[in-house]
């Protein structure tokens, strides 16, 4: 397999196509905290869950951006990181 741009976008170092992976701990924590925020919508618990969700998803996006296995995963990290920051600014 050649070292073309298309191969670098979707393939990892072993030549496997990687688009989705099993979630790691920051992603699991971020999803759970986000879902709990939908149930617990008021008070300090909601604020704490918002901070936990944001921090966890920020960590996941940062890791994907700088340690993703291919360019697709790194771009995904950049998109999520940008969306998180835009969501806090708006």
pLDDT in tens, the chain (90 residues): 567 888 889 999 898 999 999 999 999 999 999 999 999 999 999 999 999 999 999 999 999 999 999 999 999 999 999 999 999 998
- Confidence at residue 83, expressed as pLDDT on a 0 to 100 scale: 98
CA distance 49 to 80: 18
Cα 41 from Cα 67, distance rounded (Å): 34
Question: Contacts by 17-25 with C-beta closer than 8 Å and gap 24+?
Answer: 18/69, 18/70, 18/72, 18/73, 19/72, 21/69, 21/73, 24/60, 24/63
The reported pTM is 0.89
What pLDDT is recorded for position 2?
63
């Amino acid at each position: 397999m050649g070292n073309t741009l298309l191969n670098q976008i979707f393939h990892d170092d072993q030549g496997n196509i990687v688009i989705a992976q099993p979630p790691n701990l920051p992603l699991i924590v971020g999803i759970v905290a986000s879902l709990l925020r939908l149930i617990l919508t008021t008070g300090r618990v909601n604020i704490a869950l918002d901070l936990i969700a944001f921090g966890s998803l920020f960590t996941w996006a940062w890791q994907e951006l700088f340690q993703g296995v291919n360019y697709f995963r790194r771009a995904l990290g950049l998109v999520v990181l940008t969306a998180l920051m835009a969501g806090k600014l708006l």
